[in-house]
Amino acid sequence: MRMPESAYVLAVYHRQFVVFKKLIGSSLVSNVANPILFLFAFGFGMGSFIDTMSGMSYLTFVVAGMIAYSAAFAASFETTIGSFTRYFMQKNWDAVLSTPVTLFELLLGEVFWASAKALFSAVCVLIVGWIWGGVPLSFLPLVTLPIVFLGSICFACAGLVATAYAKGYEFFAYFFTFWVTPMFVFCGVFFDISRFPEIIQYLAWFFPMTHLVAAIRPLTAVTPLDGAAIALHICYIIVFSAASFWIAYRRLHQRLYD
Amino acid sequence: MENTAVITATKLNKRYGALEVVRGIDFTVPAGQCFGLLGPNGAGKSTTMRMIMGLSQITAGELTVFGEPANNMPRNIKAKIGLVPQDNNLDPDISVLENLKAFGRYFALPSTVIDARAKELLEFMQLTERKFAPVNALSGGMQRRLTIARALIGDPEMVILDEPTTGLDPQARVLIWKQLTELKKDGRTLLLTTHYMDEAQRLCDQIVIIDNGEILDQGTPKELISRHVKGFVFEVQKPGLAASAAERWDQEDIGDSVLYFVNDTAEFIADLPEESIYLHRPANLEDVFLRLTGRKLREN
C-alpha cells in the first residue's frame, strides 16, 4: 500500500465541501432548529419534572448529551447513506480510484469530512445551549470540541463499516436501529446510565457514545474534572475508531478490487 | 514516434476461482499509437482493462505499465493514465466545471494549473457554454465528452477509453473521433475498446481481437482484413451461388445467403450465374471480427 498523503485526502474532503456549500442554507437551518426543538422540549418539558441530574440542572445535563448525539447522527449519516450513495449508486468511488488517489486516502477523506460536518452540528448545539442558558460562560466548554471531533471520527468509521457490508439501503435500517438508536437512549444522553440494570450498563460502555458523553459532560457543565477518566474515554474512542476503520478498509478493498 | 512499449502483457492470466477469463495473452501497446482491444461481450476486455488500471490483481504472467508492474503501480505512473470508463460515473452533485476541478485535485494539481486546463478542456470538448450546468442536465453526448475531458485533466500520456461512443448519435461520435485523433497527434497513447468496427478501423493503428480470454489475432486493420477476408465481400443470396467447386472461393454460409471473400472481383462475378442476387462491397474489420469470433449471439 502507498503511504497516504494529505493532498489526496484533502481532494476527497474538498469535493464534499463543494457540495456542502451549495446546501449550506438547509444544513444550517436543520442543525440549528433541531437542537432548539430538542432542548426546548426536554429542557423545559422534562426539566420541569426534574430538579437536578448528576448534580446539575437538567438543561445543562441534556446539552452535553445533545452535542454528542447530534455529532453522532451527522457523522453516521454521512458515512452510511452519503458514502454508500457515492460508492454504490453514483459510482463516484470508482471514478476516484482511477486517479492517483488510493482507497485508504479516499476513506480517510470521507471520514474527515463526515467528522467536520458532525463538528459543525455540535458547535450549533453548543451555541444554542449557551444562548439557552444550559452552558456556563467559560472557556472549558470549548475544550469539548476537539474531543467531539475525535468522537465524530469514531462514529464516521463505524458508519463506514456498515457501508462496507451494505448491499442496499435496506441494510442501514439495521445500522440505525441497533447502533444509532441505542446511542440515543442507552448512552447517557437524556439520563444517567447508572439507572440501568448492571448488564445494560456494561453494554452501554461498549458504545463509544457513552464514553464521549462522559468525557464532555463535565466540560460543558463546568464541574470538577477527572482528567484520568477523560483520557481513558478518549483512548477507548481512538481504539474503536482505528479498529472499525481497519475493518471497513479491508472489506471495501475486497469489494472494489478483484 | 518513439517505439517504446507503454503496456506489455506476457502470458497474462486472470482467474476467478475455477473460471479463467484471461488465458495467457501477450500483447504490447507501443507509445503514441491507438491500440484497439476488440472482442464480444465476456471476451475478457474489461478484465484486461481493470488489470491495466491496477483495479484487478493478475493471477499469473506479467503486466507492466510504463515499465512498472500493474499490480503495484507507483503513484506517478497512475498519474500518467486517464480513464474513460464505460459508464460515465460523473459526479451528479456538482457542475460540469466542478467535475473537472474535483478531478484535478485528485491528481494533486495546483489550482492555477487546474483552472487553466479545465478552461482548455471545456473548449476542446465544446462544453464551455455548459460549464455551470449540473451534470444531469447534459445530453448523453455531452456527458461522454465531459468524461473524456475529465480523463485529460491530469495531462495523461495514455488514455484508456472503454467504449467511448456507445449509445451516441452520429454527430457526437464524429466529434469524439476528431478529438481522439487530435490526442494521438499530441503523441498520447490511446487504448480503446469498442463494439463499432468502423470506429476501430478508423482510429486504431494496432488491433487485438480477443475471445474467451484468448487472442485470436492481432495486427493493423489492413493486415487483419487482408489476412482473413481478402479485399472484397460478396453476399450472394441462395440459391444463385458461385458455379465453381466450394474450394475455389473462401466462403461462409450465413443462412439465407453465402459470403464470399475475394481478391479479384471480375473473376468472381464471372463465376456467378446470370440470375444471382448479390451485394458487393469492400471487406472491412466487421467481417474480420465476425469471421474470427463467430456469429453466435453473446449474452452477458
Task: Retrieve residue A146's grid coordinates.
Answer: 476537539
**Contact indicator for B27, B39 with CB cutoff of 8 Å:** no
The per-residue DSSP string of B124-167 comes to: HTT-GGGTTSBGGGS-HHHHHHHHHHHHTTT--SEEEEESTTTT
Asked, for residue A12, whether it belongs to a domain, the answer is: yes
User: In this predicted structure, what is the pLDDT of residue B41?
Assistant: 87
**Contact indicator for A109, A13 with CB cutoff of 8 Å:** yes
B136 touches chain A (CB under 8 A): no
Residue B19 has pLDDT above 80, yes or no: yes
B3 pLDDT tier (thresholds 50, 70, 90):
low
Which CA distances in Å does A16 have to A22, A73, A106, A244, B16?
A: 10, 17, 12, 22, 35
What is the residue range of A211's domain? 6-256
User: In this predicted structure, what is the pLDDT of residue B294?
Assistant: 85
Residue A86 has pLDDT above 90, yes or no: yes
B297 pLDDT tier (thresholds 50, 70, 90):
confident
Mean pLDDT (whole number) for B198-211: 95
β-pair type (B158-162, A56-57): unpaired
Mean pLDDT (whole number) for A171-182: 96
Torsion (CA) B172, B175, B180, B181 in degrees, nearest 10? 140
**Contact indicator for B210, B216 with CB cutoff of 8 Å:** yes
A192-231 residue pLDDT tens: 999 899 999 999 999 999 999 999 999 999 999 999 999 9
Average pLDDT of chain B, as a whole number = 93
Q: Cβ contacts (< 8 Å) between B102 and chain A: which residues?
A: 11, 14-15, 18
Residue B75 has pLDDT above 80, yes or no: yes
Number of domains in chain A: 1
Q: Per-domain residue ranges for chain B?
A: 230-283
Q: How far apart are CA A78 and CA A95, in angstroms?
A: 19
Closest C-alpha to B234, from B216, B248, B252: B252
Which of B21, B71, B106 should we substitute to test contact with A (largest number of A Cβ atoms within 10 Å)?
B106
Q: Do B108 and A14 touch (CB under 8 A)?
A: no
**Contact indicator for B213, B25 with CB cutoff of 8 Å:** yes
A164-178, B200-214, B261-275: which range is least confident on average?
A: B261-275
B213-267 residue pLDDT tens: 999 999 999 999 999 988 899 999 988 888 888 888 899 988 899 999 999 888 9
pLDDT cut 70: percent of chain B above it: 98
Q: Could you give phi then psi for residue B282, rounded to 5 degrees?
A: -65, 145
Per DSSP, what are the bridge partners of residue B257?
Answer: B237
User: In this predicted structure, what is the pLDDT of residue B1?
Assistant: 42
Q: Name the residue with higher pLDDT: A33 or A103.
A: A103
Which of A3, A20, A94, A98 should we substitute to test contact with B (largest number of B Cβ atoms within 10 Å)?
A98
Asked, for residue A1, whether it belongs to a domain, the answer is: no
Q: Enter the pTM of the model.
A: 0.92
User: In this predicted structure, what is the pLDDT of residue B300?
Assistant: 52
Cis preceding linkage at B40, omega within 30:
no
The Cα of A96 is separated from the nearest Cα of chain B by a number of Å equal to: 7
Q: How far apart are CA B12 and CA B51, in angstroms?
A: 10
Q: Cβ contacts (< 8 Å) between A96 and chain B: which residues?
A: 106
Closest C-alpha to B126, from B110, B112, B146: B146
Mean pLDDT (whole number) for B102-121: 97
B139 touches chain A (CB under 8 A): no
Q: Which amino acid is at A69?
A: Y
Q: Cβ contacts (< 8 Å) between A106 and chain B: which residues?
A: none
Give the neighbor-by-neighbor strand order of the sheet with B214-219.
Answer: B81-84, B158-162, B189-193, B34-38, B206-211, B214-219
Q: What is the dihedral sign for C-alpha A135, A138, A142, A144?
A: negative
Residue A45 has pLDDT above 90, yes or no: no
Closest C-alpha to A106, from A74, A77, A80, A83: A83
Q: Do A10 and B105 touch (CB under 8 A)?
A: yes
